[in-house]
Structure 1
Amino acid sequence: MPAATLAAGQARPADWATPVDPALRLYRIAPNLYRSALPNGADLPTLQAQGISTVINFYQRNDDWLSGSNLTAVHEPLHADRVTDTDVIRVLREIRAGQQHGKVLIHCKHGQNRTGLMAAMYRIVFDGWSREQAMAEMLEGGFGDGELMSDAVGYLNRVNVAAVRDAVASGACSTNAMALCQLRALWQRADPLPDQRMAMDAG
């Protein structure tokens, strides 16, 4: 496990994300997961050289730069000041789905707040890091000014980690049983599709 905080003069923990391209704030979080600021067409060779096959974008849609490449674009727009457990669970599943096909890049505009939050939750849910360890990497890992990550810090301070981890493991879409996605799933299970109802009536 990495240190919970980076003391003055302490070497960067080996488990922290590895710098790849500082200008893009491109870091390797894990062998199959990267993070960055907003890329463009000029960055495509760098991403392809890393073997990235899926790009998950938390910022506004801007997929034109991927045109003609073999990279898959996934758009998960997020507002940093209102990220919910449902958002986190959905994104973590998108990351895992992308990793089934290769390496994944997650990014927002600056590669700090939204990207930092999701990278930290990946560390907590999948890598088994503590809240404090994930936050230390997020704030001190070289991704930019910590003051620009206040929304991510706020979420990490209040999130029920066990509830998110359980939801991801169980397949639930939210930690809230009354969330719209949960109610929709219950309704779909309770109300068979029209074809199924017709088959049942015919039987």
Structure 2
Amino acid sequence: MPGWGRWVLSLVVVALVAVPPVALFRANYAHAKRFREVTPGRFYRSGQMTAGGFRETIERYGIKTVLNLQHENPDPHMPESWLGRPAVLESDLCKQLGVRYVLMTPDVLPQPNDVTKQPAVVTDYLKLLDDPASYPILIHCKAGLHRTGRLTAIYRMEYEGWSTGDALRELRDNGYGYAMASEADDFIIQFVKHYAPRRPGGGPK
């Protein structure tokens, strides 16, 4: 066999060995993108799932409210599975499953030069979480890291009595990034470091 033929054959063998595991990983990853149980039976977080993963999660955990944090995608058109074509709007799937669908956009700082001012979205968020009928709740953004991480930190501090430091450590551990989860990020300062729980010690409302 000529040298180029052996080279091509080697590439084919490598592709046959490497591609299926990678494809399987990506399919599983997209299905339930970064899904995490924050408080069992109460609070869950994720990235943007496929319709199949979304449906499975809602049914398995008895989700009653879905909070989407994507201003750039206020009603995601979800494929049934990874690499599939868009099949159903998230709001329509929630309606089919009897789940409340809520959109909030925590990306805009209210005052560019005053990161100590609490964003208006936090008031809306707390109002939603104060309502016992909202639970169990699933919150998500696109990646399930930054917007989701900041609002999960507020949940921890407000309703579970976590310190700012503990909330930040969890946020970093879940992929926010150590460099970003600091005073280098105005959103961290505004949403987490300057957040003051409404009552000392937190705990369920």
Question: TM-score, structure 2 length as denominator?
Answer: 0.59
Unaligned runs of 5+ in 2: 1-27, 76-90
Letter in 2 for 1:29: V
Q: CA deviation at 1:66?
A: 2.7
Segments of structure 1 that go 5 or more residues without pairing to the other structure are: 1-20, 170-203
Q: C-alpha separation between the residues in 2 aligned to 1:154 and 1:68?
A: 39
The residue aligned with 2:163 is: 130
Cα 1:52/1:134, change in 2 over 3 Å: same
Task: Summarize the Cα distance change of 1:144–1:156 in structure 2 as closer, same or farther, 3 Å threshold.
Answer: closer
Q: Secondary structure at the match of 2:97?
A: coil
Q: Distance in 1 between matches of 2:109 and 2:52?
A: 30
User: Radius of gyration: which is bigger?
Assistant: 2
Could you tell me how far 1:153 is from its partner in structure 2?
Answer: 2.4
Aligned residues: CA RMSD: 2.7
Q: CA deviation at 1:127?
A: 0.8
Task: State TM-score, norm by structure 1.
Answer: 0.60
- Aligned pair partner of 1:26 in 35, 50, 68: 35
Cα-to-partner distance string for 1:117-148 (whole Å, 9 max, x where unaligned): 111011111111110000000101x3454556
Aligned mates of 1:36, 1:160 — CA distance in 2:
22
Q: Quick one: structure 1 residues 158 and 102, their matched pair in 2 at CA, closer, same or farther if it must change by over 3 Å? A: closer
Counterpart residue number, 1:75? 103
AA aligned opposite 1:51: G
How far apart are the structure 2 equivalents of 1:41 and 1:157?
31
The percentage of aligned residue pairs carrying the same residue is 25
Matches within 5 A, 1:1-203: 23-31=32-40, 32-43=42-53, 44-59=55-70, 60-62=73-75, 63-79=91-107, 84-97=118-131, 99-140=132-173, 142-143=174-175, 145-146=177-178, 150-156=185-191, 158-161=193-196, 164-165=197-198
Matched-pair contact (CA < 8 Å) for 2:146–2:176: no
| Cα deviation 1:54-92 (Å, max 9, x = unaligned) | 101111321244342211101112216559343213202
Change in 2 beyond 3 A, CA 1:101/1:165: closer
